[in-house]
Amino acid sequence: MNKKKPTNIALSFDIEDWYHTPLVTGSSFSKYPTLEDFFQQNHEESVDCITEETLRLIEILDEFEVSATFFMVADVARRYPRIVKALKGSRHEIASHSLTHQSSIDAKTKQPIVSIDDWYQEQVEAKKVLEEIFETNVIGFRAPNAVLSNWMIPLLEKIGFQYDSSVAFNSLYNKTNVKLRDIPTTPYYINGDDLSHRTPATRLMELPWSNYKITPFLTLPAGGGYFFRLLGPLYFKRVLKKALKKGDSMFYMHPIDISRKAIPSENPQNRPLYWINKGEKTEKNFIRLLKEFSGSFTTCKEVFLKHQKR
């Protein structure tokens, strides 16, 4: 019998708060260059836009009996005990979303903002912190702001990561330091030079972000997150259906995407559409997606194991 395995959507959440977003901290255009600078100037208890929201997402996932991957910023794991309590020992996978959500390269010049050695040490520490706090093995990595560089690949392997999920191929943006070409929407072993599926590949698997090819010259982003809030469930339904025909796909969100709280405005050049449709609307749209693709969602680790070459 040659029964075809059902295709899956690797479901993930990036657990970071509003002050980890690049307008506020950790990128070349942030108000505060680092998270440390932010805390030095914000002594009062900061607004928490993720504890209640993460707990709500876990409740929704339980309701639908869906397991997901939580890409944790290790700093969040240290400072948000209720999130840790809810996820530790649960059905969900814990993966790394770095130590402080610091971007590694300048958005425009693509040159490293932090030294490669500092970046390496931070990823080692983040993995260690998460493994100690959650008492679990961490095998997955997602680069903060999806800013992935080819020099990270051998280092991620060296640290002990087995998969990455950061490569977003589309016509609107490229956050890597290489020219991306023909990136599939299904998992592949990543090439250490151009981040593609070309051989010779490394031993690190990539779970790329979905996209939607409108014409040979126009490919729209469809990983989730901001574009899920902006473009809504109908667009994503179409995209995921199309992607699933090719194989396993990926979808992600942030707890903050369903937050009803007002996000403190920390940046004068704040983008007006940055938090579009945040809150109840996106929560409802996410539930629609869970219903629509019932039985398809699983963790990144499960998808990784399906594709792993032994």
Shorter beta-carbon distance to Zn ion: residue 98 or 298: 98
To the nearest whole angstrom, how small is the minimum distance from the Cβ of residue 145 to Zn ion? 6
Q: 89's torsion region: left (phi>0), alpha (psi -120 to 50) or beta?
A: left
Shorter beta-carbon distance to Zn ion: residue 15 or 66: 15
Shorter beta-carbon distance to Zn ion: residue 16 or 93: 16
Shorter beta-carbon distance to Zn ion: residue 175 or 301: 175
Phi and psi at residue 12, to the nearest 5°: -145, 160
From CA 293, how far away is CA 123, in angstroms rounded?
34
From CA 148, how far away is CA 163, in angstroms rounded?
13
**Which amino acid is it at 189?**
Y
- Nearest CA-CA partner of 28 in 111, 131, 90: 111
To the nearest whole angstrom, how small is the minimum distance from the Cβ of residue 174 to Zn ion? 17
Q: Applying CB under 5 A, which residues contact Zn ion?
A: 14, 16
To the nearest whole angstrom, how small is the minimum distance from the Cβ of residue 195 to Zn ion? 18
Q: Are 208 and 164 in contact (CB under 8 A)?
A: no
Q: Are 50 and 16 in contact (CB under 8 A)?
A: yes
From CA 90, how far away is CA 69, in angstroms rounded?
11
Residue with tokens 């900061």: 46
To the nearest whole angstrom, how small is the minimum distance from the Cβ of residue 18 to Zn ion? 11
Shorter beta-carbon distance to Zn ion: residue 15 or 240: 15
Residue with tokens 């983008």: 271
To the nearest whole angstrom, how small is the minimum distance from the Cβ of residue 253 to Zn ion? 11
To the nearest whole angstrom, how small is the minimum distance from the Cβ of residue 243 to Zn ion? 22
From CA 267, how far away is CA 82, in angstroms rounded?
29
Taking CB atoms, the residue at the shortest distance from Zn ion is 14
Render 42-99 in DSSP notation, one character per residue: --SPPP--SHHHHHHHHHHHHHTT---EEEE-HHHHHH-HHHHHHHTTSSSEEEE--S
Shorter beta-carbon distance to Zn ion: residue 16 or 206: 16
For strands 249-253 and 211-215, give the pairing.
Answer: unpaired
Shorter beta-carbon distance to Zn ion: residue 14 or 17: 14
To the nearest whole angstrom, how small is the minimum distance from the Cβ of residue 144 to Zn ion? 5
